[in-house]
Chains A and B, each alone.
Chain A
Amino acid sequence: MTPGTLIERLDAAIAGYGQSVTLQRTAVDPTTGGITVAEAVTCPAAVRNFGPQSLEPGEAKEIKVVLSPTGVGSFGLPSRDDVILIDGNPSNITEIDPLTYGGALVRINLLCRG
């Protein structure tokens, strides 16, 4: 087993049951607090809702997202200040859990809210 094998398997799995998401690296205007997108990447991801959902439509949902290093590419590991668009809806990234094998990044688990 090598990191490359693990990444290939993850890519295949995400290709089978995943969808596209967009990661956005944001910048905050120091004067107004307005948020702009400085960098973005669209990549395949496995997306699952979990946890209690609000009874009121349109309220925030808890979402688990699995990304592959292949899709993220040069964007790199997401940070808590980034935003993720899922089905066009922006969500905050509340937890980042990168998994490494043999010293290489092979999977990125995210918990999101939005």
Chain B
Amino acid sequence: MSGISAVVRNALDVPGNARPAVIIQDGIEAMIDQPENVRHSELQRMELSPGITVYVRAGGAADAGVLLSRYRTAIVSAALNDGTLRDVTGTNGRIRYEGCAVLPPDAEAKEHRLDITLVFTYAFRLDELL
């Protein structure tokens, strides 16, 4: 993604504190429903919601709001329009953008953060685990 210096998964920070950065945590996976005749989770629909946080530094002519909006737009658009992600969620699944939250700047580092919430609904099939 243009402009992003580093992306890491399941880590507290990116190497060298590079900014702008995106840190992804695997987040939450939860069942939402299943057919009534299913007893042992052979088939059910799941929701997967990763934690996606954008970190930027601002100051001088760089406005934090402008930068956060730029990367919100880029990330949400990329996720919702990605053909691979759409294929993985399948015909019974979907990808929802549920919103975002701007967090207060980190007092230690003066960095601005944006949490983006995307929810991926997909069909869980037990036989695909084997």
Q: Show the binding face of A for B, using Cβ within 8 Å.
A: 26-35, 54, 56, 58-60, 80-81, 83, 89-92, 94, 113-114
B60–A27 CB distance below 8 A: yes
Looking at chain A's contact residues, is the secondary structure mostly helix, strand, loop, or mixed? Answer: loop
Residue among A28, A34, A81, A90 making CB contact with B17, cutoff 8 Å = A90
Which of B5, B11, B17, B20 is in CB contact (< 8 Å) with A114? Answer: B17
Query: Closest residue of chain A to B110, judged by CB?
Result: A80
CA distance A60 to B5 in the complex (A): 18
* 8 Å CB interface, B1-32 against A: 2-3, 5, 11-13, 15-20
Q: Is the CB of A54 within 8 A of B3?
A: no
Q: Which residue of B lies closest to A113 (CB)?
A: B108
Contacts of B110 in A (CB 8 A): 80-81, 92
Q: Which chain A residues lie closer than 8 Å to B108 at the CB level?
A: 92, 94, 113
Contacts of A90 in B (CB 8 A): 16-17
A89–B13 Cα distance when bound, in Å, is 13
B5 touches A34 (CB 8 A): yes
How far is B13's CA from A92's CA once the two chains are assembled, in angstroms? 12
Main secondary structure of the interface of B (DSSP, over half): loop
Q: Is the beta-carbon distance between A33 and B12 smaller than 8 angstroms?
A: no
Contact A33 B19, beta carbon cutoff 8 Å: yes
Contact A94 B109 (CB under 8 A): yes
CB distance from B75 to the nearest CB of A (A): 13
Asked if B101 is at the interface of the complex by the 8 Å CB criterion, the answer is no
* Measured CA separation A56–B11 after assembly (Å): 10
Q: Which residues of B contact A80 (CB under 8 A)?
A: 110
- Answer whether A28 and B16 are a contact pair too, CB < 8 Å, given A33-B3, A33-B67, A92-B109: no
Can you name 13 A-B residue pairings with CB atoms under 8 Å?
A: A27-B60, A28-B61, A30-B60, A30-B63, A31-B70, A32-B2, A33-B20, A33-B70, A34-B20, A80-B110, A81-B59, A90-B17, A92-B110
Is there contact, CB below 8 Å, between B63 and A54? no
The CB with the most chain A CB atoms within 10 A, among B12, B59, B66, is that of B59
Cβ-based interface call for B58 (8 A): yes
For A113, the chain B residues whose CB sits under 8 A away are 108-109
Q: What 10 additional pairs, Cβ within 8 angstroms, besides A31-B70, A34-B20, A59-B11? A: A30-B62, A32-B67, A35-B19, A35-B57, A60-B17, A81-B110, A89-B16, A91-B17, A92-B17, A92-B110
